[in-house]
Amino acid sequence: MGKIIAIANQKGGVGKTTTAVNLAASMAATKRKVLLIDLDPQGNATMGSGVDKYEAPATAYELLIEEKPLNEVVETETTGKFDIVAANSDVTAAEIKLMECFARELKLRNALANHRKDYDFIIIDCPPSLNMLTVNAMAAADSVLVPMQCEYYALEGLTALMDTINKLASVVNPELTIEGILRTMYDPRNRLANDVSEQLKNHFGDKVYRTVIPRNVRLAEAPSFGSPVMYYDKSSAGAKAYLALAGEMIRRSEKQKTKQVA
């Protein structure tokens, strides 16, 4: 059974899509079968994976609203060697149409139900807002990965996000857990970043990944070439960081499985 991870943060510009694309590519590089679902109408994860959002024959709209089978909407030719369900402005229409649907918050969960066995990891890139698409992601996911910058306002927003996740879990998915908190765009020379990082570790303990994602020019450049950073510049600090994150997540997942068996 594949693990479904939603990557979410209501605050924009925290490296959410960068994390979705580069984590998917890094997982795929470890010979895992990975599916990335782009639920953000901006389609940045789609473009960053080497798929033209304007030319995509099918998107998350067809999956959620037209209820096409997953294998009919998946794009397998990506620069990151993972499968993707693309997104473009059509997904905005999906958000509106979902409001008219019966059991609207369960559309994505139902669409993935028979396909979890086909993948080791299914990663969902959520929009930077709490809308029906995000609710669908939370209802379908096993856990939520929260990328955040180590800044004061980000810390304030994290409290609100955790509250939202807990409320959503109680309504649509009681099994939902926090996968982890990922520090992004990290600059160790910044005193505030170090202070916030310590507060995170004190409050959330081992939910905070040991891996931190640094500020990195190559990481910022890679999307404009339609490529995950590991295929744009594998020696860059950004590429190494996301490979380390994938390794850390895989070890955690295997440890959880061992505990469940025991």
- Per-residue burial over 125-163, b if 16 or more Cβ lie within 10 Å, else e, is bbbbebbbbbbbbbbbbbbbbbbbbbbeebbebbeebbe
Tell me if 226 sits within 8 A of 48, measured CB to CB.
yes
Domain residues of the chain, as ranges? 3-261
Look at residue 4 in the predicted model and tell me its pLDDT. 97
Q: Which residue has the tokens 């369900």?
A: 85
pLDDT of amino acid 262 = 61
Question: What is the distance between the alpha carbons of residues 236 and 148, in angstroms, rounded to a whole number?
Answer: 21
Q: What is the pTM of this model?
A: 0.94
pLDDT for the residue numbered 154: 76
pLDDT tens digits, the chain, 262 residues: what are they?
789 999 998 877 889 999 999 999 999 999 999 999 999 999 999 999 999 999 999 999 999 999 999 999 999 999 999 999 999 999 999 988 988 888 899 999 999 999 999 999 999 999 988 889 999 999 999 999 999 988 877 777 788 888 888 888 888 899 999 999 999 999 888 888 899 899 889 888 999 999 999 999 999 999 999 999 999 999 999 999 999 999 999 998 888 777 776 6
Ordered alpha helix ranges (H), 37-180: 44-48, 60-64, 70-73, 90-98, 107-112, 132-140, 152-172
Q: What is the CATH number of domain 3-261?
A: 3.40.50.300
**Cα dihedral across residues 63, 148, 175, 249: positive or negative:** positive
Q: Which three-class secondary structure state does DSSP give residue 225?
A: helix
Nearest alpha carbon to residue 75 among 27, 43, 114, 108? 43
Position 156 scores a pLDDT of 76
